[in-house]
């Protein structure tokens, strides 16, 4: 679909039926749709109603039958274990069909739920595709999640079977999964019929013979199972968002629209051709892992990389370049936080020069706001386009991007560029009125949302409308704040809750972070708004410095404050910053600004289930106390 982006985007809004039906022609349908866009139950819109399909067939069998049987489909690379494994499309199809047979033998059938609680190993991908093969619904829970959080998801999804592994691996340690799984099942009101456990060499789990099956034993006795067609509007998976408070929301993804949108995105957004290697350096527990480790690359006939490691420390800050060189990766998609970690450890980019990167074409970043300094560092050292793009667990694919397969649009640092087909973006104020170009407000998308986005929440239709549509009728509330400039470029500055009010002035913490990140010694930063009796809120900055920095902290802090005053002005009231060794993050790389703010303001807070390392919050508390804040404790 190479050509004129703006004409393509306009057509997607003016004639969505024609646009998305053409995109759907690339896939296999057991039965074609009665309606491309179904608004019969607005505002709960559906796509490809009446169609029947199977996502696993389109991801595997279609390619085996179509000439890609011997092409690599999945490459597993684990610097933690030193192991690699490659599966052709035929081999992966056969493994998935056999594990589908295992699941079927336990009673799993179309519409049943299966929870997958596994590390970054090929069997996790095999399990996901096997559930889809049966027309069942998978819910992947990040491996190593705490037992109580897993129990909540068990009770909400009511799985017939849970698929797990004996352990996960982190640098220098083994995380036993089976005790966590056993405790979660004990806590949960709903009890699965079976657990299937893959035994890893690093930890052999004790199995309960009344409930647990050994993966290898079950596979050795299994018969392969064919694909089961389902309605295009039937759910493919449930993925729970991991908020810091309240019950997690079960994001539902359907089969038909999901296939169409993801398949379309590979060529048109990421600019990759079938047969090329694409790597999303994420985790299957997150939406990026669902969309761009598993489904999109396989639907499009690409080779996908499954990476069990870290951007630094396994063994060093050059592991990304080693994988790109060794596996001929054309496009990498990862989180900005990964590049900040690499930049912090290797600010001069010395590791890049040790590998042949000549086949690498494009770097895509998403997950946290990509600050201009990080983008420019990557541009200098990789000498390829670095594309920030914006999407969410709820959307499943890009809201805004630079569509490399259509045309490379001019880059504006700090912006994920322009809305993708089907996305009609606006910025509204608290009274639901449009704001002027360049003014900050709530970023919203005019309904209906395009294919591939969430059609509902699992067993919570009323909550779906309340969470995403009630505040701005006729629009989807992204929960992000930002602005749209005079050229239509979207700038996502911060979460709506992170817009702070300083003496009546609404300021974006993201805008302040952008300035701080530009300091040559700052590798990463976060800004929060803390309560102030005079001004309402004032911004407080947390700076992580480059490895090897020898300059006095006081000089860097003074310079950082001056940079904010010079670029944003005295209105920002930015006077307070501190240097810390690291920032608290979720396992997907999002900085826990909301939790930091609650600590600062002595508000009750809950330990986030998704935090990468809980001990860091103690360090942040000490840093805040040194600044005169944070005398409270966790609730």
Is residue 163 in some structural domain? Answer: yes
For residue 635, the model assigns a pLDDT of 41
The CATH number of whichever domain residue 94 belongs to comes to 3.40.50.12780
Choose between 426 and 249: higher pLDDT: 426
Please tell me the predicted confidence (pLDDT) of residue 367. Answer: 84
Shared domain check, 435 and 526:
no
Read off the pLDDT band of 499 (50, 70, 90). low
Q: What value does the mean pLDDT take over residues 5-34?
A: 98
pLDDT of res. 149: 84
How far apart, in whole angstroms, are the C-alpha atoms of residue 587 and residue 57? Answer: 31
Q: Is the pLDDT of residue 504 over 70?
A: no
Q: What mean pLDDT comes out for the span 306-330?
A: 97
Boundary (domain end) residue, out of 448, 482, 516: 482
CATH label of the domain that carries residue 573: 3.30.300.30
Number of alpha helices (DSSP H) and beta strands (DSSP E) in the chain: 20, 31
Query: What is the pTM (predicted TM-score) of this model?
Result: 0.86
pLDDT score at 632:
54
Is 316 domain-assigned?
no
Higher pLDDT, 368 or 476: 476
Cβ atoms within 10 Å of 65's Cβ, excluding its own: 13
Same-domain check for residues 207 and 72: yes
Domain contains 635: no
Quick: pLDDT tens for 52-72. Answer: 999 999 999 999 999 999 999
265 shares its domain with 118:
yes
Looking at residues 593-607, what average pLDDT do you find? 86
Q: Has residue 633 got a pLDDT over 70?
A: no
Spatial distance between the Cα atoms of 230 and 134, rounded to a whole number of angstroms: 9
What residues make up the domain containing 613? 503-626
- Whether 372 shows a pLDDT value over 90: the answer reads no
Residue 490 lies in a domain: no
Q: Report how far residue 194's alpha carbon sits from residue 192's, in angstroms, rounded to the nearest whole number.
A: 6
Judgement on whether residues 536 and 442 belong to the same structural domain of the protein: no
Q: Which of 426, 448, 482 is the last residue of a domain?
A: 482
Average pLDDT, the chain: 92
In this predicted structure, which of 12-21, 142-151, 310-319, 324-333 has the lowest mean pLDDT? 142-151
Q: How many other CB atoms are there within 10 angstroms of residue 483's CB atom?
A: 20
Return the biggest CA–CA distance within the chain.
71
Residue 323 in any domain: the answer is no
The answer to whether 389 touches 366, Cβ cutoff 8 Å, is yes
Domain count, the chain: 2
Percent of the chain residues topping a pLDDT of 70? 96
Identify any residues that bridge with 137 across adjacent strands, giving them in sequence order: 113
The per-residue pLDDT for 432 is: 92
- Preceding peptide of 43 cis, ω within 30°: yes
pLDDT exceeds cutoff 60 at 418: yes
What integer is the mean pLDDT of 327-339?
95
Render pLDDT for 394-416 as a digit per residue (tens, 0 to 9). Answer: 999 999 999 999 999 999 999 99
- pLDDT surpassing 60 at residue 348: yes
Give 558's contacts (C-beta < 8 A, 6+ positions apart): none
pLDDT tens digits along 150-203: 999 999 999 999 999 999 998 999 999 999 999 999 999 999 999 999 999 999
Residue-level pLDDT at 501: 67
In a domain, 337, yes or no: no
Q: What is the pLDDT of residues 218-239, one digit of tens each?
A: 999 999 999 999 999 999 999 9
Nearest Cα to 339, choosing from 300, 281, 412, 423?
281
**Do 170 and 273 fall into the same domain?**
yes
The pLDDT value given to residue 413: 93
Q: Does 466 lie in the same domain as 515? A: no
36 shares its domain with 116: yes
Mean pLDDT of 421-427: 98
12 within domain boundaries: yes
User: What is the rounded average pLDDT of the residues 603-625?
Assistant: 83
Residue 634 — pLDDT band, cuts 50, 70, 90? very low
pLDDT, position 243: 46
Pair 477, 551 in one domain = no
What pLDDT, on the 0 to 100 scale, is given for residue 363? 98
- Quick: pLDDT tens for 142-155: 887 888 889 999 99
Give the end of a domain, one of 482, 511, 545. 482
- The CA distance from 75 to 304, in Å, is 6
Mean pLDDT calculated for residue range 444-450: 98
Is there a contact between 367 and 393 (Cβ–Cβ < 8 Å)? no
* Same domain for 406 and 453: yes
Share of the chain above pLDDT 90, in %: 77
> At 483, is the pLDDT very low, low, confident or very high (cuts 50, 70, 90)?
very high
Any idea which residue has 């349908």 for tokens?
Answer: 29
Q: Based on the fold, state whether residues 510 and 473 are members of the same structural domain.
A: no
Statement to judge: residues 517 and 606 lie in one domain: yes
Q: What is the mean pLDDT of residues 318-345?
A: 95
**Is 548 found in the same domain as 460?**
no
Work out the average pLDDT over 133-140. 98
Residue 97: per-residue pLDDT: 98
């Amino acid at each position: 679909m190479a050509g004129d982006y703006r004409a393509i985007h306009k057509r997607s809004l003016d004639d969505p039926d024609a646009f998305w039906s053409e995109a759907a022609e690339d896939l296999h349908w057991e039965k074609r749709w009665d309606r491309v866009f179904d608004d019969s139950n607005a505002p709960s819109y559906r796509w490809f109603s009446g169609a029947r399909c199977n996502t696993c067939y389109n991801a595997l069998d279609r390619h085996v039958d179509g000439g890609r049987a011997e092409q690599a489909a999945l490459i597993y690379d684990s610097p933690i274990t030193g192991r690699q494994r490659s599966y052709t499309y035929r081999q992966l199809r056969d493994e998935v069909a056999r594990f589908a047979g295992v699941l079927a033998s336990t009673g799993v059938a179309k519409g049943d739920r299966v929870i997958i609680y596994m590390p970054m190993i090929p069997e996790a991908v095999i399990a996901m595709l096997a559930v889809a093969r049966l027309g069942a619904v998978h819910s992947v829970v990040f491996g190593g999640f705490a037992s109580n959080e897993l129990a909540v998801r068990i009770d909400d999804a009511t799985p017939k079977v849970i698929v797990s592994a004996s352990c996960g691996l982190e640098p220098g340690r083994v995380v036993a999964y089976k005790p966590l799984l056993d405790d979660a099942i004990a806590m949960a009101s709903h009890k699965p019929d079976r657990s299937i456990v893959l035994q890893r060499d690093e930890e052999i789990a004790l199995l309960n013979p009344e409930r647990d099956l050994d993966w290898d034993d079950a596979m050795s006795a299994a018969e392969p199972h064919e694909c089961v067609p389902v309605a295009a509007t039937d759910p493919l998976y449930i993925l729970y968002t991991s908020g810091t408070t309240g019950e997690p929301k079960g994001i539902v993804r359907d089969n038909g629209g999901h296939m169409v949108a993801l398949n379309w995105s590979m060529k048109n957004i990421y600019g990759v051709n079938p047969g090329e290697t694409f790597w999303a350096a994420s985790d299957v527990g997150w939406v990026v892992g669902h969309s761009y480790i598993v489904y999109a690359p396989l639907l499009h006939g690409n080779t996908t990389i499954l990476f069990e490691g870290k951007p630094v420390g396994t063994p060093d800050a050059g592991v990304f370049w080693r994988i790109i060189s060794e596996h001929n990766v054309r496009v990498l998609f990862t989180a900005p936080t990964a590049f900040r970690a690499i930049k912090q450890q290797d600010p001069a980019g010395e590791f890049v020069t040790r590998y042949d990167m000549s086949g690498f074409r494009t770097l895509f970043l998403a997950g946290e706001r990509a600050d201009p300094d990080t983008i420019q560092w990557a541009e200098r050292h990789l000498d390829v386009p670095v594309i920030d793009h914006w999407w969410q667990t709820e959307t499943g694919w890009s809201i805004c991007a630079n569509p490399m397969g259509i045309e490379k649009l001019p880059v504006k640092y700090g912006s994920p560029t322009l809305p993708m087909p089907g996305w009609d973006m606006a910025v509204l104020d608290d009274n639901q009125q449009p704001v002027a170009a360049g003014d900050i407000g709530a970023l919203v998308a005019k309904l209906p949302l395009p294919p591939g986005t969430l059609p509902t929440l699992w067993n919570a239709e009323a909550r779906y409308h309340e969470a995403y549509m009630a505040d701005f009728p006729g629009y989807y509330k992204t929960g992000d704040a930002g602005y749209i400039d005079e050229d239509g470029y979207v700038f996502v500055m911060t979460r709506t809750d992170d817009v702070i009010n300083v003496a009546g002035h609404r300021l974006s913490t993201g805008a302040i972070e952008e300035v701080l990140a530009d300091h040559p010694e700052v590798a990463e930063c976060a800004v929060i708004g803390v309560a102030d009796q005079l001004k309402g809120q004032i911004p407080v900055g947390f700076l992580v410095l480059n490895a090897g920095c020898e300059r006095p902290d006081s000089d860097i802090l003074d310079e950082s404050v001056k940079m904010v005053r010079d670029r944003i002005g005295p209105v920002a009231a930015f006077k307070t910053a501190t240097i810390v060794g690291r920032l608290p993050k979720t396992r997907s790389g999002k900085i826990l600004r909301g939790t930091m703010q609650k600590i600062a303001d002595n508000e009750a807070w809950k330990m986030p289930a998704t935090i990468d390392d809980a001990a860091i919050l103690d360090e942040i508390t000490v840093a805040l106390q040194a600044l005169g804040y944070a005398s409270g404790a966790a609730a």
